[in-house]
Structure 1
Amino acid sequence: MDLKDIQNLIKFVAKSGANEVRLEMDDVKITIKTGSEYKGEPSTMIQHVPMSQAVPQVQQQQSSPVVSSAPPVANTETAESSKYITVKSPIIGTFYRKPSPDKPMFVEVGSDIKEGDVLCVIEAMKLFNEIESEISGKIVKILVDDSSPVEFDQPLFLVDPS
């Protein structure tokens, strides 16, 4: 891993909103910490480890999303949305509704989708991952704005399976 890869990783972690990311590969350990307790740029610690101890693994501790207080009407909204299936993000990255800026959106509210249809793209570490539908139905609500950072398991779409 060279310096440019490490710098890109720092930028990605800062955008993702994660408090701490640890990456262990062969002879290198990288820890990136961000958050309100740290001022300015995220801190990074790189440590070289002997090859005999190296166990490749990635650990992430994600910050819990900040939730604003909801109005009392939330109970009826929850009951109403319980009949819908939530499509969640399988990875951390940047959410895009189009394959490229000059192309049309993958799906809109009201679009009928089938299993295997591409719903969006999530960019992580300069890789664009197509997110395919695992269910058939109709898009009821799009929960994330285009070009927004998303967390792992963050709701992206509400789908009516009927």
Structure 2
Amino acid sequence: MDIKEIQNLIKFVAKSGASEVKLEMDDIKITIKTGSDPETTAVHYAPVAPQMPQMPVPVAEAKPTVETSAPVAPAAENSKFITIKSPIIGTFYRKPAPDKPLFVEVGQTIAEGDVLCVIEAMKLFNEIESEISGKIVKILVDDSSPVEFDQPLFLVDPS
């Protein structure tokens, strides 16, 4: 099946009103999912390799690497601070809405349970609450930036 045939299939499925179509042939698998509007169409194309006996492959041994680019002084300085990390993947926002004030600012004292930010994941806005009391020392992420799981968001001085 060539690219023209796949494109024609996508157009046909989008016009038909079907929400999902799966096509499996000898050498490929195609799944086409459409949303409520024609702009949201997802296509998953996976060529299927013929089944062949598996042969053992030698694995190269990984060699440990040592990073020396990080200066020692800031690490020691930051060791007294507690890092609040992202519990989910999503988009980081410092405000509950564009016209609202920031949740927290550098230098602000926070208590356990205070909302620090929201992280949008799949159109859901998740409030991230502080698990500690202290003073915000540094905000490590820019507003409206994507964040990963376990990415540092804030530095807090618990003293």
TM-score (norm 2): 0.60
Greater than 4 Å deviation, 4+ residue runs: 69-72
Structure of larger gyration radius: 2
Confirm or deny that 1:127 pairs with 2:115: no
Question: Cα offset for 1:109?
Answer: 0.2
Structure number with higher relative contact order (C-alpha < 8 Å, ≥ 6 residues apart)? 1
Asked whether 1:3 is paired with 2:27, we answer no
Q: State the match for 1:84 in structure 2.
A: 81
Q: Any gaps of 5 or more consecutive residues in structure 1? A: 11-42, 47-68
Task: Report sequence identity in percent.
Answer: 72
Partner of 1:93: 90
Once the two structures are superposed, residues 95-142 of structure 1 have per-residue CA deviations (whole angstroms, 9 ceiling, x without a partner) of 000000000000000010000000000000000000000000000000
- Once the two structures are superposed, the pairs formed by residues 52-131 of structure 1 within 5 Å of their partners are 74-131=71-128
Deviation digits for residues 54-91 of structure 1 (CA, Å, limit 9, x no counterpart): xxxxxxxxxxxxxxx9866x210000000000000000
- Aligned-partner Cα distance in 2 for 1:90–1:3: 30
Give the aligned length.
105
In structure 1, how many angstroms separate the alpha carbons of the residues matched to 2:77 and 2:141? 19
Aligned with 1:158 (options 147, 151, 155): 155
SS in 2 for 1:158: strand
Counterpart of 2:75, as a letter, is T
- After superposition, the CA RMSD in angstroms is 2.6
Question: Superposed, which structure 2 residues align to 1:2-41 within 5 Å?
Answer: 3-4=34-35
Measured after TM superposition, the shift of residue 4 of structure 1 is 2.9
